[in-house]
Structure 1
Amino acid sequence: MKVTPLALLTIFAASSSAFGLNGGAKSVARATRSAVSFQKPALVQAVDVHGNRLGSSALGDASADASDALSVRGGAAASAPAKSGGIDFGLMAYFALWYLGNYYYNITNKLALNAAGGKTGFPMTISSLQLGVGALYAIYLWVAPDARKKPTITMQDLVKMIPVSFCFMGAHSASVFAMGMGAVSFAQIVKAAEPAFSAVLSQYVYGKPISRAKWLCLPVVIGGVILASVKELDFAWSALISACIANTFAAVKGNENKKLMDTPGIKDRLGSVGNQFALTTILGFLMSIPFVLAKEGSRLGDFFQAAKTTPAIWKNVVASGLWFYGYNECATMTLKKTNAVTQSVANTAKRVIVIIGVALVLGESLDPIKLLGCSIGIFGVFLYSIIDTLVAKKK
């Protein structure tokens, strides 16, 4: 699969819509102008999924609840979701962009890894450059006219963000390693077991007890992963271990992020979820550089020479970096607008779409036993997410 200009244009359009580049709270349903207007002189214009520029609108009432101000749209107060006939088209757009971005990220990431040498290539360099692409885009949003308001954080705030950023970098890099060492579908199946890691850490490290019902769901998740691994044609212990490391980092990041956001005043100083993710990405990129130098520093010359002679490397690195940054912000907007059960269904559906879709595109194995194990594992994840709600309703 080639990374075409259309694919790159799509991620910019998705990012523009998700990030609210006009600085105010705008609804996707307000798009009324033609695609031709997107070519007007203004450097930064928000567009919908069809490439149409969004119309301007006033900011929300200044007396709106302060908690609603923490939105991805540059810190402006979030307006009520635009609906037509009871359908929230804005939410549907975020779902579509989240899924599309995650799908294309996995494909372009794997293509970049393969073009750079596969299992013997440069996974740490590629994962770091992907964060670097996201960091550059985040900085661009701060300096571009009418894009995103800069955060007003202190040096102490940055220090407090280091644990979250380091875990974010670790989870991303380990995931890229896992996908480089084995099939994307296999890495996704193992990553679906993240709740098991989160449960152990929450219970024994952060002192947050997990219900018995949740513990009973974990054997289903782990059993599904084991069953899916039995018939994995591209099985590698390195892929399994890397995916487990990614799960550990992701679980720690979730707990550390909650501690961070409980810090008095930091939400106001950040200004938006978009700023929080931008700073996390920038710090994660900076912290990844020493690991690149330590692991692949002696071969960086070979990597850049290969990138010059093989355009598929740098094209897919740039594309995967943009997709990664874009789909994460779209996911944030989606999860902020839905409840816990909807989030669980959305994450489950996303995992299934990515596993099957990427496997078909990249020609990875879809053995019936692997699909059965995948289904059991993902069902276990979904059940784990909603079991407490189901048990509470029965009481």
Structure 2
Amino acid sequence: MLSLNVFPPTSSSYSVTITKPNHHFSINASHKLKPNLLNSFQSSNLSLKPISQIHHSLTNSPSFNRFLSHPFEFSPKPTTQFLKAVSDEGESSPQEVNPNPKPKNIKKLVLVFGFWYFQNIVFNIYNKKVLNIFPFPWLLASFQLFVGSIWMLVLWSFKLQPCPKISKPFIFALLGPALFHTIGHISACVSFSKVAVSFTHVIKSAEPVFSVIFSSVLGDRYPIQVWLSILPIVLGCSLAAVTEVSFNVQGLWCALISNFGFVLRNIYSKKSLQNFKEVDGLNLYGWITILSLLYLFPVAIFVEGSQWIPGYYKALEAIGKPSTFYIWVLVSGVFYHLYNQSSYQALDEISPLTFSVGNTMKRVVVIVSSVLVFRNPVRPLNGLGSAIAILGTFLYSQATAAKKAKKIEGEKSS
């Protein structure tokens, strides 16, 4: 039982005593330090209550009861909101909130990267297997978004993932990013149906070129190191395209359009979603997936809907067992969502620089694995161009990370 005793002033001090079984605390306040301390208490919203009232207030407080059941649990306020508030108030930086952070678990990082890479490889392989016998990328891309939508609805329904509060401004802010995500996804899927997986990923490694160009048009400024880093990307992609055995104009243009869509999605998200920072990355991706499905499926019906049934029977004849075809389609849909989900989890665990390096290496792993699985012929110049493009992507990630670090140091010094 807690008790609070306030003794009247004797000559020059106040005495406040807090008593608990086996504990006794006493605080003395001098007139010299605060001569009107008692008057301040009485004039403020705070009031001095009898011991019985204090005990009754404490024992009936939800916060006090939560503290009793979870004495080491912090406030349930979202961490992102807390860090944002601390940062905005200028009292301290987010890095100062937790002075003794836990060391990174290397095994956990290895697992996160391992799942991320494995899921991406599985998606690319089975996505291409389906498209080889069922060349209807609009339907397959729609199904992949459908699986991701169902996955997120299950997570939210069973409270495995906290569901964000939905409002009209939030939905309107998502319409633009979801549209560009749809463009990026369907374009990549069409490219996969026309050319080798490795070639599509080489062209998609040119995404930083689009990012720098569009961001510069919108007013961002990049140092010379960033501009120099995109030169090997352009050179490597050009060399890979010229020497690609499975070269197809539509496949090339769709891969470029995919870069266009995903870059604009990222740029538009920063501008339209800056007032919704309390929504975490996985929930944001979930709602973008749902809206993208609503965008894509009606168009898919218009573009190739009349060919789905004849194409389905041809696919069954080519593969022999219907169950095998169903499994391939389902695996492509599930692992499309899983590898995107793992990328968000990886970004939560590591720095943006480490993430960008890991993303670059992931593309290398996917290219090599697809070449081994599908036995695509690779000419020496084609391999050299791919390597140069990937190297340029790595240099770009290093240069942009240095730019961000310099910007943060400038903000701190100012």
TM-score bucket (shorter structure): 0.7 to 0.9
| Structure 2 partner of 1:21 | none
CA deviation vs aligned residue, 1:265-288 (integer Å, no higher than 9, x gap): x233x4x32211111111111110
Q: Given the alignment, which residue of 264, 267, 284 partners 2:277?
A: 267
1:174-185 to structure 2, matched below 5 A, reads 174-185=187-198
Alpha-carbon distance in structure 2 between the residues aligned to 1:159 and 1:338:
31
On the 8 A contact 2:120/2:339 being kept in 1, the answer is: yes
Task: Note if 1:328 corresponds to 2:340.
Answer: yes
Q: Which stretch of the first structure deviates more once superposed, 250-259 or 340-349? A: 340-349
Query: Within 5 A, what are the aligned runs for 1:64-75?
Result: 66-67=79-80
Structure-1 separation of matches of 2:400 and 2:73: 36
| 1:175 to 1:330, Cα distance in 2 relative to 1, 3 A | same
Q: Look at both structures and tell me which one has the larger radius of gyration over its CA atoms.
A: 2
1-side partners of 2:162 and 2:184: how far apart? 28
Give the counterpart of 1:377 among 377, 381, 389. Answer: 389
Give the deviation of 1:342 after TM superposition.
Answer: 1.1
Aligned to 1:162: 175
Correspondence for 1:349 among 352, 358, 361: 361
> CA deviation digits over 1:17-47, x for unaligned, max 9?
xxxxxxxxxxxxxxxxxxxxxxxxxxxxxxx
Quote the residue 2:120 is aligned against. 102
Work out which of the residue numbers 135, 155, 163 in structure 2 matches 1:141. Answer: 155
How far the C-alpha of 1:87 sits from its partner, in A, is 4.0
1:58 CA displacement: 11
> Equivalents in 2 of 1:388, 1:276: separation in Å?
24
Deviates more, 1:379-388 or 1:174-183: 379-388
Q: Distance in 2 between matches of 1:60 and 1:327?
A: 32
* Other-structure match for 2:185: 172
- Amino acid in structure 1 at the alignment position of 2:290: I
Q: What is the rounded CA distance, in whole Å, between the counterparts of 2:102 and 2:336 in structure 1? A: 26
How many residues align structurally? 317
- Counterparts of 1:7-46 in structure 2, within 5 Å, are none
Q: 1:276 to 1:296 in 2, by over 3 A?
A: same
Query: Aligned pair in 2 of structure 1 residues 389, 105: CA closer, same or farther (>3 Å)?
Result: closer
- Relative distance call for 1:123 and 1:69 in structure 2 (3 A) is farther
Q: How does 1:118-267 map to 2 (within 5 A)?
A: 121-144=135-158, 146-204=159-217, 206-263=218-275, 266-267=276-277
In structure 2, the CA distance between the partners of 1:278 and 1:356, relative to structure 1 (3 Å rule), is: same
Name the CA distance, whole Å, in 2 between partners of 1:243 and 1:98: 22
CA deviation after TM superposition for structure 1 residue 339, in Å: 2.0
Q: 2: distance between equivalents of 1:140 and 1:90?
A: 25
Aligned mate of 1:278, from 260, 270, 286: 286
Residues 166-223 of structure 1, C-alpha deviations (whole Å, 9 max, x = no match): 111111111011110000000000000000111111111x222232221122221010
Q: Is the 8 A contact 1:225 1:373 kept in 2?
A: yes
Q: Which amino acid aligns with 1:135?
A: S
Greater strand content? 2
SS of the residue 1:279 aligns to: helix
2:160 alignment partner, SS class: coil
C-alpha RMSD of the superposition: 2.6
Tell me, in whole angstroms, the C-alpha distance in 1 between the residues paired with 2:73 and 2:142: 38
Give the letter for the 2:392 counterpart.
Answer: G
- Kept in 2, the 8 Å contact 1:221–1:381? The answer is yes
Taking structure 2 as the reference length, what is the TM-score of the superposition?
0.71
Q: Which runs of 5+ in 1 are unaligned?
A: 1-56, 71-78
What is the CA deviation profile of residues 208-253 of structure 1, one whole-angstrom value per residue up to 9, with x for unaligned ones? 2232221122221010011112221101111100000000001101
| Counterpart contact for 1:82–1:88, Cα < 8 Å | no
Letter of the structure 2 residue corresponding to residue 301 of structure 1? I
Sequence identity percentage: 29
For structure 2, the 5+ residue unaligned runs are: 1-69, 84-97, 407-414
CA 1:390–1:151 in structure 2 vs 1: closer, same or farther (change >3 Å)? Answer: closer
